[in-house]
Structure 1
Amino acid sequence: MVEVAILGFGTVGSGVAEVIDQNQAEIRRDFPEGIHVKYILDLRDFPDSPYGDRVVHDINVILDDPEVQVVCETMGGKSPACEFSKAALERGKSVCTSNKELVDALGGQLAVIAAQHNCSYLFEASVGGGIPVLRPLRTSFSQEFITSVIGILNGTTNYILTKMEREGLDFATCLKEAQDNGFAERNPEADIEGYDPCRKIAILASLVTSGNVKYQQVPCEGITNIDTDDFVYAKQIHSHIKLLGVCTHDKESGKVYVRCAPYLVPKGHPLYGVADVYNGILVHGNMVGDLMFYGSGAGKLPTASAVVSDIVECCQNIGHNIDIGLKDTDAVLYDPMEWEDRYFVRIAKEDLVKATEAFGNEIQIVVNENKNDEFAFVTPKIREREFQEKIAKIPSFKKSIRLLTI
């Protein structure tokens, strides 16, 4: 029996304990020795919990116990999660985490420390909740050059956008409904402003390139500027509006383009039908082509299940480092201002001539019969720098949304 410790007994941490206990038979199918939770680190006591007698308040109890070989960090945030994870790795204890903030900020450093001490640092649950995508990227795609990863990586925003489109409700109403149904936090900023999916696409880009991509380097837009009229226009061009994380990797230059923003996803694209709280991640390999990962991107047990999958893999490799391909070096990023996209643009009707002068006669006009004072158009592919220069010449510019063309 391998002893493990859980750091943080919140939603995910308690779920990890539950999965290990309830699915012990399934765990033993691949790891006959079995896994046991010896300690739970938390500031609180849990006298009514069946795990209450395992709670400790001092990290050194865990660090100094040679029986503990795997540590599960589900605390969240960078500190003290980073210090505790680093200390465990330096003692040869593998660490598994769902903490995307820490993985994004310092994942490369912690992976290097793990390799130096013959243990592992795994974080399957940090992206996509229960969807197994990170492990396939480093195993099933080991022979592939991954050219792109595009994902709906946040269930909260996907739920809101789906409700707005299907029921014609405004953003504020759909956000409140998401909160009432437990799909959005009381403070939803990380979701609706795009910070959560931005961190996730940064992690995916880091794994694709084997170089660090920090979310602060990634252009990020949320969905707070999307309104019901945008969906009327989207219907005219047979598209759905989705908040996407986009990563494109160029084999010749080695550069990677990364962005998190709302996109118009055309009918027929694999991500077009991903609705409600579900996540979808489309990976393209240069030989295998497109592969789609779909499922619950959040929730107590789906996320905990992903953490436990990492625990099992670490237990199967005690004394050895699982190379996840992540190094403590920085990826080479494309200048986002030089990236080409097509744009959906809303302006006042009187500026049609100016739009044609700026973007040429190739623009595609899109009409919303409910908006007599405006119209929209779709540009040809254009660099963002050039787009910003041209759109500045149109005084009535209201907003733009990118079209997914990958």
Structure 2
Amino acid sequence: MAFKVGILGLGTVGTGTVQLLLDPTGRQALLKEVEVYKVGVKSPDKTRAVSLPTAVVTTDLEAIVKDPAVDIVVELIGGLEPARSLILQAINNGKHVVTANKAVIARFGDEIFTAANAAGVYVMLEAAVGGGIPVIQPLKQSLSVNRITAVTGIVNGTTNYILTAMRDRGSDFAEVLAEAQQLGYAEADPTADVDGLDAADKIAILASLAFGGRIKLQDVYCEGIRNVSKADINYAEKLGFVIKLLAIAKKAHSSNSLSLRVHPTLVPQSHPLASINGVYNAILVEGEPLGQVMFFGPGAGAGATASAVVSDILAIAATLKTGTTKPHPLMSCSHQEYCEKAPMEDLVTRFYARFLTQDHPGVIGKLGTCFGNCGVSLESVVQTGIHDNLAEIVVVTHDVREGDFNASLAEIRALPAISSIASLLRVL
């Protein structure tokens, strides 16, 4: 029995996927029963790293998703359209779908999975989060008996590379970003990465799986790394932290609501995520009774992402091979309700703040009074010296409600001695 696969897109990941499918020796035996039946491309005459028969390659992507012979459609063109429309057409034509497209799933997952459930087909997305790291299927299957309390991840390799290089070399953000673009780690337009949008897509997907509910992408608080300075990285190190862009989904202590957020974070140097450097990704899952488990590996690249894509193809092929017509309950997406969002002002966390002040006596005392008025307790206060006639004061708070911390900042901004609040970062 051969399972015919139609692949949409033959870019970096598409090429890696085809290469894996055409080289089954020494891999899972079922791979030999998977046939690369059709591959859709924009430019059929383009020189590529993989050679395919002329009859296999087509520019008509719609024909692939409608072809009765195709069992599994693999969407690797990226972007929102025509990816969304092609996925829905494939589903409506009874095709199972594998995709690496986190953006389309994060924005249109409700529509796509509703259609898939109605059609009795699978939509698999292991490659959409974490590149080659197997985290989607473990959340759907191996970890599904746990009550998940938090998912915390470094899920964007570009920002992790930038922050690592800024720390290791003492460089500025703009300098390292330019280098990352030259090396191909960052796009010419790096907005999705450095502003946290890519990570927001990914934590929305992970949260949906971990907490058994649909997620509205607009409910994910999103803050990028553009304002992280080398001064903040240096202070973080002196205080025993490293700065990472974290994507966090966490259940509130007093309700079933979720805190969903992406932001640069001071991570204690002893924390498992603190040692994840360069372009690598890691996802830490916490639950009961398991405790903690961390998934680590390459978050992007042809080989890593193709590995995840082909693993999904094989999972579908293995299920089809059994001949059952009922959807596999651990492969389907069955939840219909939306998760409740916890307001950011109710988040309880620690904060790091860096103030530039006039060098006047009593400034630290006035800061302390403003914090105290709003119930903010300080863990540490450090005055680091004078720069351009301004004193630099760094504080780290104890756990505090974000709304109370923001209220204290409103008072502090009104103090005549405060020149500016140079940095505000949350602490894990």
TM-score in terms of structure 2 length: 0.89
How many angstroms does 1:59 deviate by?
3.2
Equivalent in the alignment of 1:364: 380
Which one has a bigger Cα radius of gyration? 2
Question: For residue 125 of structure 2, what is the amino acid of its counterpart?
Answer: F
Equivalent in the alignment of 1:14: 15
Q: 1:47 to 1:189 in 2, by over 3 A?
A: closer
In structure 2, stretches of 5+ residues that fail to align are: 414-419
Give 3-state SS (helix, strand or coil) of 1:223's partner: coil
Distance 2:385 2:161 in 1: 26
Question: For residue 28 of structure 2, what is the amino acid of its counterpart?
Answer: I
Give 3-state SS (helix, strand or coil) of 1:272's partner: helix
Distance 1:317 1:47 in 2: 36
Question: For residue 352 of structure 1, what is the amino acid of its counterpart?
Answer: I
Distance 2:36 2:383 in 1: 60
Equivalent in the alignment of 2:85: 83
Question: For residue 349 of structure 2, what is the amino acid of its counterpart?
Answer: D
Distance 2:25 2:118 in 1: 31
Equivalent in the alignment of 2:284: 282
Give 3-state SS (helix, strand or coil) of 2:80's partner: coil
- Equivalenced residue count is 402
Equivalent in the alignment of 2:416: none
Equivalent in the alignment of 2:417: none
Q: 1:209 aligns with which of 199, 211, 221?
A: 211
What is the 5 A alignment of 1:18-57? 18-23=19-24, 25-28=26-29, 31=30, 34-46=33-45, 48-49=47-48, 50-51=51-52, 53=54, 54-57=56-59
Equivalent in the alignment of 2:352: 344
Equivalent in the alignment of 1:327: 335
Distance 1:184 1:345 in 2: 29
Is 1:353 aligned to residue 365 of structure 2? yes
Give 3-state SS (helix, strand or coil) of 1:373's partner: strand
The answer on whether the counterparts of 1:237 and 1:366 sit within 8 Å (CA) in structure 2 is: no
Is 1:2 aligned to residue 3 of structure 2? yes
Q: 2:305 aligns with which of 303, 306, 311?
A: 303
Identity %: 37
The answer on whether the counterparts of 2:352 and 2:395 sit within 8 Å (CA) in structure 1 is: yes
What is the 5 A alignment of 1:6-405? 6-23=7-24, 25-28=26-29, 31=30, 34-46=33-45, 48-49=47-48, 50-51=51-52, 53=54, 54-250=56-252, 253-318=255-320, 319-322=325-328, 323-350=331-358, 351-360=363-372, 362-368=378-384, 371=387, 373-395=391-413, 396-404=420-428
How many angstroms does 1:56 deviate by?
1.4
Distance 1:197 1:258 in 2: 11
How many angstroms does 1:251 deviate by?
7.9
What's the RMSD between the two structures over aligned residues?
1.9
In structure 1, stretches of 5+ residues that fail to align are: none
How many angstroms does 1:362 deviate by?
3.4
How many angstroms does 1:328 deviate by?
3.9
Distance 1:110 1:296 in 2: 27
Give 3-state SS (helix, strand or coil) of 2:72's partner: strand
Greater relative contact order structure (CA < 8 Å, 6+ sep): 1
The answer on whether the counterparts of 1:242 and 1:262 sit within 8 Å (CA) in structure 2 is: yes
How many angstroms does 1:96 deviate by?
0.4
Residue by residue, what CA displacement relative to the aligned partner does 1:203-226 show, whole Å, maximum 9, x if unpaired?
Answer: 111112222213322111110001
Question: For residue 27 of structure 1, what is the amino acid of its counterpart?
Answer: Q
The answer on whether the counterparts of 2:117 and 2:334 sit within 8 Å (CA) in structure 1 is: no
Q: 1:70 to 1:393 in 2, by over 3 A?
A: same
Q: 1:160 to 1:370 in 2, by over 3 A?
A: farther
How many angstroms does 1:51 deviate by?
2.2
